[in-house]
């Protein structure tokens, strides 16, 4: 069998175990489309906007630990996907991008779509490679897989000149093994162990990245049992395995001064799977680093080191008990009378089936939703890791593709939902089991808070109009219907509860517009 | 009066004549929001996605020749706007981007939204500058204006660190004059004149950029009267002033081999306001340059030279008659029985009021729409200059903001319309007089054609599914309703005619979903 470059490239990716392509192709990618067509091992999922494609690849990676491949149309198509690649990088998600480009001999014509594809790729990729020949394409694919699998995951981008895709001869290359998982330095573990055995004062264990999976959390719970350490979840985590029966963990608050207050009691802060806590934004006359002045901050393991292993080594060094601290009991808060984020969280805590996956982009509602659901049936909670909004619906889409047997729930603020609302169409097309709850408050509510926090007083109507989504009010039920997703509106707790219960029984996606 | 950096920056832009801001701000831009709020001379128009913002700035610039300023949220927000900045650059549109970034002293924390904003800006900007201090911000604004006004227009991006925005002291700086319009070299004009006076054979005059405005076209028509030259419009033009009573011009076809055939009769091709014609994409075994082999190709003026002046000098050198060639007569084609792009064009030719502005992103329907409307009342026609789709609705939005007294008509393919469908909300909020006609064919129709053209035979269902928008079918009436734009569906010529006539009388935006 003879291969052209595109066929050898796609076959190589398949051999590496890449079985899903999130795609938004154009003319320069038609040979890649044809190559995917001929590969029974690769599923193709169309997105109607590139931010859907890259965000779905992120969601897929968070749930599988493996990269999906994206298919994007030259520099401008890649550009549309950058914001969610930024989030994917911050999540440590493995993603492979295949980006078509003009034929090598066509670039000098400077045709309208000519752009600096490498320049577009670089700011949001950990690794970029331009294929050098038809034969080199397969090699680039194998290397991209290794780069993407650099623990816990990286964004790897391959630029595919059209003539290399359609020309031969080429042949698939053998997959290379994923790189080993780097271990945290033994000295770091020893230092933390020594500190915790001594006079460490009140201790906080700030967990992020892979330290938030159930197995690592269980070990962290044993360390807490040994040391009395408070377990804290980083503010924007890629994936937290939580809920009833799992080790309970509170989240570091978003606003810097609230986070500082939250951390103030602790004299020792041990960081695992993430970096020492900093404010999301700077504000005039407010500190950027959030650890209490004078506290010792110790780094057990970073995002790119094996957090579970480091926690286990620490637990061993501390001779921690086999049982973790008290596990989170099943708990359903009172939903109250008004439909608020807290009430939505309470209904979720009551009704969410075990094994649910929550993609949460609640923005101003995020903290309340997280808190209210801590005693829900065991579930995964995915957050906006990089602060680039428009992540929630695409990540829900990718998670549902990755885990067809699990219920996905997208908790989506209305303002941020609009950036990648096209994801609803992919949910409908693929009949994904996603219940989208839009928290409709008609406002960039977070910005109305932030305006005062950066020192703006007496904002006038023009400023406020730039933060308001009223006039006209978005109708998310109509938007969903426009993309083939059945929807209903809820403006009371009872209505929301009934709608959510119905949505869980639907064979495909549903959207509930919750008027909060 | 004392200014902080943001106030001085915005006041400087106002002094330069920048009176419109298309905005999608975040926390790091709150001081810029406040500064705009305090400037009565600057209008703020909110977009719910950054591609709407940058595309609207392009449309505004095409109609005014002046830059609007965009307001974008750090690297990821800018990234979302890049595709339409690519189109703006290709259109030669003046645009100023103001992009917030973290406070300078916060960058080292590598907080979640930290990114290489300059790296994101560079591929789609002609000019990039990071403000160096609060006081430097105003200076950067004045320089950005000059850079944007580099004839006929450039994309100029200023990165605004948040602490420079909120700190002082700062003061506005005086505007600098826009740079002069470069003239084409006299030698180029003399060379073309000599060629056309000699044995040039059949001559084609390929016009682009500013050569497609009515005044320049009139001179081109005089040259045609003197030489018999065929006047040809570049395939993707920023703005063509055309219609009944104006100099008629045909468009160079999109597909390379059709374009080659179209140009085959000509022995001399004179290029003005653009570059010699090349294929949009490369295809296996098809040429990239479209001029006939052996033809002489002469460059009268490029995109960045004064095309009107060059044409006038050429007309003088040729002692061209005062009257241009026959002007385009008023002409309304027969709409026929079926609702096709041709029929839609025919209805438009009949009903479009004089002075209409058409933002056309018809993709596979573009040529038919352009051809059918050549005898419509005089109007402007704006096209997708850079091939980055998702331009049509944003450019229509910006054109309507620029020209509130003129009717704007967006002719929008369904597939490309989805990329920036959020523009409909801005149309509704600003009550813009835009009639959007969605040509709904449920397909990336152009890609179904391109698939065969790049050599793919026997495409299977997986490949075809990546080019299809059916399953589910998009409901554009519902999408429009979701964003506050009244809409109706038309599936016959009579229904479309009636709907279009009604839409022209609406005080604000309307959408017609034309089932073609």
pLDDT exceeds cutoff 90 at A457: no
Considering CB atoms only, which of A115, A278, A428 is closest to B109?
Answer: A278
**Beta partners for residue A42, in sequence order:** none
Are the beta carbons of B30 and A454 separated by less than 8 Å?
yes
* End position of a domain, from candidates B166, B200, B216: B166
Residues A13 and A162 grouped into a single domain: yes
In this structure, of A180-194, A444-458, B62-76, B324-338, the range with the lowest mean pLDDT score is A444-458
Query: Does residue A206 sit within a domain?
Result: yes
CA angle at B196 for the pair B194 and B202, rounded to the nearest 5°: 150
* pLDDT for the residue A454: 83
Query: Does residue A45 sit within a domain?
Result: yes
Dihedral sign, CA of B39, B43, B47, B50? Answer: negative
* End position of a domain, from candidates B301, B317, B333: B317
Confidence of residue A60 (pLDDT cuts 50, 70, 90): very high
pLDDT exceeds cutoff 90 at A326: no
* pLDDT for the residue A458: 85
Residues A285 and A195 grouped into a single domain: yes
Cβ contacts of B48 on chain A, cutoff 8 Å: 415, 418-419, 469
* pLDDT for the residue B458: 85
Are the beta carbons of B281 and A28 separated by less than 8 Å?
yes
Cβ contacts of A478 on chain B, cutoff 8 Å: 478-479, 481-482
Helix (DSSP H) and strand (DSSP E) numbers for chain B: 20, 18
Read off the pLDDT of residues A23-59 as tens digits, 9 standing for 90 and up. Answer: 999 999 999 999 999 999 999 999 999 999 999 999 9
| Alpha-carbon distances, residue A261 vs A205, A228, A370 (angstroms) | 16, 19, 19
Cβ contacts of B462 on chain A, cutoff 8 Å: 36-37, 44
Whole-number mean pLDDT of chain B? 97
Query: Does residue B142 sit within a domain?
Result: yes
* End position of a domain, from candidates A270, A302, A317: A317
Residues A286 and A212 grouped into a single domain: yes
| Residues B307 and B216: beta-carbon distance below 8 Å | yes
Query: Does residue A223 sit within a domain?
Result: yes
A256 touches chain B (CB under 8 A): no
B46 touches chain A (CB under 8 A): yes
Contacts of residue B279, Cβ cutoff 8 Å, sequence gap at least 6: A106, A109, A111, B256, B259, B286, B287, B288, B289, B290
Query: Does residue A289 sit within a domain?
Result: yes
Considering CB atoms only, which of A113, A446, A465 is closest to B386?
Answer: A113
* pLDDT for the residue A453: 86
Considering CB atoms only, which of A23, A76, A82 is closest to B76?
Answer: A82
* pLDDT for the residue B245: 98
pLDDT exceeds cutoff 80 at B1: no
Residues A352 and A495 grouped into a single domain: yes
pTM: 0.98
The residue whose two tokens read 């393919």 is B413
Residues B124 and B212 grouped into a single domain: no
Number of domains in chain A: 3
| Residues B197 and B226: beta-carbon distance below 8 Å | no
In this structure, of A185-189, A462-466, A483-487, B311-315, the range with the lowest mean pLDDT score is A462-466
Are the beta carbons of B418 and A44 separated by less than 8 Å?
no
Query: Does residue A179 sit within a domain?
Result: no
What's the CATH code of the domain at A145? 3.40.50.970
The average pLDDT across A165-193 equals 97
Residues A154 and A16 grouped into a single domain: yes
Query: Does residue A175 sit within a domain?
Result: no
What's the CATH code of the domain at A292? 3.40.50.1220
Q: Is the peptide bond before A152 cis (omega within 30 degrees of 0)?
A: yes
Instruction: Say how far apart CA A490 and CA A509 lie, in whole Å.
Output: 17
Are the beta carbons of B86 and A115 separated by less than 8 Å?
yes
DSSP conformation letters of B270-315 = EEESS---B-SS--TT--SB-SPTT-EEEEEE-TTS-HHHHHHHHH
Enter the tokens of residue B437. 């006609």
The average pLDDT across B157-183 equals 97
Cβ contacts of A453 on chain B, cutoff 8 Å: 27
pLDDT exceeds cutoff 90 at B289: yes
> Is ipTM over 0.95?
yes
Q: Is the peptide bond before B122 cis (omega within 30 degrees of 0)?
A: no
Read off the pLDDT of residues B450-472 as tens digits, 9 standing for 90 and up. Answer: 988 888 888 999 999 999 998 99
Residues B263 and B356 grouped into a single domain: no
pLDDT exceeds cutoff 90 at A277: yes
The average pLDDT across B83-90 equals 98
Read off the pLDDT of residues A340-384 as tens digits, 9 standing for 90 and up. Answer: 999 999 999 999 999 999 999 999 999 999 999 999 999 999 999
Read off the pLDDT of residues B102-135 as tens digits, 9 standing for 90 and up. Answer: 999 999 999 999 999 999 999 999 999 999 999 9
Contacts of residue B118, Cβ cutoff 8 Å, sequence gap at least 6: B128, B130, B159
Query: Does residue B333 sit within a domain?
Result: no
* pLDDT for the residue A510: 98
Residues B349 and B299 grouped into a single domain: no
In this structure, of A137-151, A260-274, A452-466, B498-512, the range with the lowest mean pLDDT score is A452-466
| Alpha-carbon distances, residue B240 vs A416, B348, B370, B379, B382 (angstroms) | 37, 16, 11, 8, 7
Residue A17 backbone class (left: φ over 0; alpha: ψ -120 to 50; beta: rest): left
Cβ contacts of B288 on chain A, cutoff 8 Å: 105-106, 109, 111
The residue whose two tokens read 């690297």 is B75
Confidence of residue B35 (pLDDT cuts 50, 70, 90): very high
Residues A122 and A193 grouped into a single domain: no
Helix, strand, coil percent values for chain A (each to nearest 5): 40, 20, 40
Considering CB atoms only, which of B419, B454, B482 is closest to A31?
Answer: B454
Cβ contacts of A116 on chain B, cutoff 8 Å: 122-123
Are the beta carbons of A456 and B415 separated by less than 8 Å?
no
Q: How close B228 gets to chain A, by Cα (Å)?
A: 29
Residues B502 and B354 grouped into a single domain: yes
Q: What percent of chain A has pLDDT over 70?
A: 100
Residues A283 and A364 grouped into a single domain: no
Residue B219 belongs to domain spanning: 186-317
B352 touches chain A (CB under 8 A): no
For testing contact with chain A, the best of B387, B449, B480 (most A CBs within 10 A): B387
* pLDDT for the residue A192: 98
Read off the pLDDT of residues B208-234 as tens digits, 9 standing for 90 and up. Answer: 999 999 999 999 999 999 999 999 999
Are the beta carbons of A106 and B281 separated by less than 8 Å?
yes
Residues B358 and B311 grouped into a single domain: no
Considering CB atoms only, which of B123, B385, B425 is closest to A116?
Answer: B123
CB atoms closer than 10 angstroms to residue A111: 21
pLDDT exceeds cutoff 80 at A312: yes
């Amino acid at each position: 069998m003879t291969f052209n470059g595109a066929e050898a490239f796609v076959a190589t990716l398949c051999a590496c175990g890449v079985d899903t392509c999130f795609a938004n192709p154009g003319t320069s990618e038609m040979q890649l489309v044809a190559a995917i067509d001929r590969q029974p091992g690769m599923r193709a999922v169309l997105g109607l906007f590139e931010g859907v494609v890259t965000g779905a690849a992120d969601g897929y990676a968070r749930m599988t630990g493996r990269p999906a491949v994206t298919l994007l149309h030259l520099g401008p198509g890649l550009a549309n996907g950058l914001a969610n690649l930024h989030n994917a990088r911050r999540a440590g998600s493995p993603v492979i991008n295949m980006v078509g480009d003009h034929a090598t001999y066509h670039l000098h014509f400077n045709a309208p779509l000519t752009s600096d594809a490498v320049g577009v790729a670089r700011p949001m990729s950990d690794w970029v490679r331009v294929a050098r020949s038809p034969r080199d394409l397969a090699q680039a694919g194998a290397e991209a897989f290794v780069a993407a699998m650099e623990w816990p995951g990286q964004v790897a981008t391959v630029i595919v000149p059209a003539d290399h895709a359609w020309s031969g001869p080429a042949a698939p290359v053998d997959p290379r093994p994923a790189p080993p998982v780097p271990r945290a330095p033994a000295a770091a573990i020893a230092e933390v162990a020594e500190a915790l055995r001594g006079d460490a004062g009140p201790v906080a264990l700030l967990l992020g990245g892979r330290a938030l999976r159930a197995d690592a959390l269980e070990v962290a719970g044993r360390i807490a049992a040994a040391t009395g350490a408070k377990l804290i979840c980083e503010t924007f985590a890629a994936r937290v395995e939580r809920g009833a029966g799992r080790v309970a963990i509170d989240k570091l608050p978003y606003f810097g001064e609230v986070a500082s207050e939250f951390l103030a009691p602790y004299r020792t802060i041990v960081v695992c799977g993430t970096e020492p806590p900093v404010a999301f934004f700077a504000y005039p006359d407010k500190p950027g680093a959030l650890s209490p002045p004078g506290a010792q901050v110790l780094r057990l393991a970073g995002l790119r080191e094996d957090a579970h292993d480091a926690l286990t080594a620490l637990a061993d060094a501390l001779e921690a008990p086999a049982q973790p601290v008290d596990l989170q009991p099943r708990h359903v808060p009172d939903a109250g009378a008004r439909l608020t984020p807290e009430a939505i969280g309470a209904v979720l805590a009551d009704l969410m089936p075990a094994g649910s996956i929550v993609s949460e982009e609640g923005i101003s509602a995020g903290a309340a939703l997280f808190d209210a659901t801590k005693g829900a049936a065991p579930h995964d909670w995915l957050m906006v890791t990089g602060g680039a909004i428009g992540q929630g619906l695409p990540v829900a889409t990718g998670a549902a593709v990755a885990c067809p047997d699990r219920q996905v729930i997208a908790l989506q603020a209305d303002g941020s939902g609009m950036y990648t609302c096209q994801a609803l169409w992919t949910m409908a097309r693929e009949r994904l089991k996603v219940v989208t709850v839009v928290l409709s408050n008609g406002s960039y509510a977070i910005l109305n808070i932030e305006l005062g926090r950066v020192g703006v007083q007496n904002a006038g109507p023009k400023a406020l109009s730039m933060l308001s989504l009223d006039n006209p009010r978005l109708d998310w039920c109509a938007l969903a219907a426009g993309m083939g997703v059945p929807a209903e509106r809820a403006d009371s707790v009872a209505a929301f509860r009934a709608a959510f219960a119905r949505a869980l029984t639907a064979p495909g996606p549903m959207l509930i517009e919750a008027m909060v």
